[in-house]
Amino acid sequence: ALVTTKEMFQKAYEGGYAIGAFNVNNMEIIQGITEAAKEENAPVILQVSAGARKYAKHNYLVKLVEAAVLETDLPIALHLDHGEDFEICKACIDGGFTSVMIDGSKHSFEDNIALTKKVVDYAHERGVVVEGELGQLAGIEDDVNVSEEDASFTKPEEVEEFVARTGVDSLAIAIGTSHGAFKFKPGQKPELRFDILEEIQRRLPNFPIVLHGASSVSQEYVNIIAQNGGKLDDAIGIPEDMLRKAASMAVCKINIDSDLRLAFTAGVREHLMNNPAHFDPRQYLTQGREYIKALVKHKIVNVLGCSGA
Ligand code: G3H
Ligand code: 13P
Ligand code: ZN
Ligand code: NA
């Protein structure tokens, strides 16, 4: 059935692993992820951004995810990624999602608390769980280029008050990850602030922490894309050993979007280069879907640690 993340996170916290939260926006992506989760017998979170909702439309995504539940019989949570206001959270809560994120991290501490609490009150009355965020991720997002200097890591001294006053069910934090496929400059050494994570988990015992911007940007896919007509200079992600370490700690949800995009694009590009006469979308989308499935299996076994969970 479609489930909330409540039980998933509790088991993940105790078991020292994390659940994968994968961004979805079409049928093949949903199928690739859930087929992998099924074969690994792993719980999974499928998340939808405002952009995905605009692209595919709310009802298509909800019905596709419900279809994945019917096909796999897995516990799947349907989550709104980066909800920016009360209205989009309400639309998703009313429209079948089991979890929403209200991302008030760009607001002041007090405004973030007020907005997050409003969403929590509405959601909890309807059995839906809420993820909040404190701190700002660095990274290149569209036209805004937040440098690492401007990025503000989560302040551990704020987390207890935020969680107590809002009632959120999980908290996204900023400890050095960033969104997109270009997380670090060439030559820059990827680093995560595990000292901040440790201090947060000390202050919030047993409370699930979320890591955004957690794609690894494997060179395997970057190279396949480059060898088949694409060009992605200096794409760099978070090393897998750092993610494994975070998953062994209070981090119970690891967000992955860019890696799915890279795997899908690598599969489609390779297929079309090797089969110039193919023009049936089922042929090249099959390879995109297979690449997503292989990627997600790898994440479940080698990064998240949630196989058989
Ligand atoms: O955190 C952002 C996710 O990768 C979603 O990206 O807004 O382009 O759908 P998007
Ligand atoms: P990546 O861009 O690293 O995949 O992060 C995705 C994310 O955080 C979605 O909320
Ligand atoms: Zn994110
Ligand atoms: Na964990």
Instruction: Catalogue all structural domains in the chain, each as residue range(s) with its CATH number.
Output: 6-304 (3.20.20.70)
Q: Each residue's pLDDT tens digit in the chain (309 positions)?
A: 899 999 999 999 999 999 999 999 999 999 999 999 999 999 999 999 999 999 999 999 999 999 999 999 999 999 999 999 999 999 999 999 999 999 999 999 999 999 999 999 999 999 999 999 999 997 654 445 555 555 689 999 999 999 999 999 999 999 999 999 999 988 888 999 999 999 999 999 999 999 999 999 999 999 999 999 999 999 999 999 999 999 999 999 999 999 999 999 999 999 999 999 999 999 999 999 999 999 999 999 999 999 999
**Is residue 81 annotated as part of the catalytic site, yes or no?**
yes
Cα angle 265-266-267, degrees, rounded to a multiple of 5: 90
Which of ligand 1's atoms lies nearest the C-alpha of 49? 9
Binding residues for Zn(2+): 82, 103, 133, 179, 212
Specify the pairing of strand 138-141 against strand 178-179: parallel
Cα dihedral: 161, 202, 249, 77 (round 10): -30
Give me the phi and psi of 22, to 5 degrees please.
-110, 135
Atom 6 (ligand 1) nearest CA: 49
For ligand 1, mutation pick of 82, 84, 141, 212 (most atoms within 8 Å of CB): 82
Ligand nearest to the CA of 215: 2
Work out which ligand 2 atom sits closest to the CA atom of 211.
Answer: 8
CA-closest candidate to residue 208, choices 16, 51, 54: 16
As for the ipTM of the complex, it is 0.98
Task: Give the residue among 15, 232, 210, 193 at the shortest CA–CA distance from 99.
Answer: 210
String of b and e for 193-228 (b: at least 16 CB within 10 Å)? Answer: eeebbebbbeebeebbbbbbbbbbbbeebbebbbeb
Q: What count of residues does the chain have?
A: 309
Residue 304 parent element (H or E): none
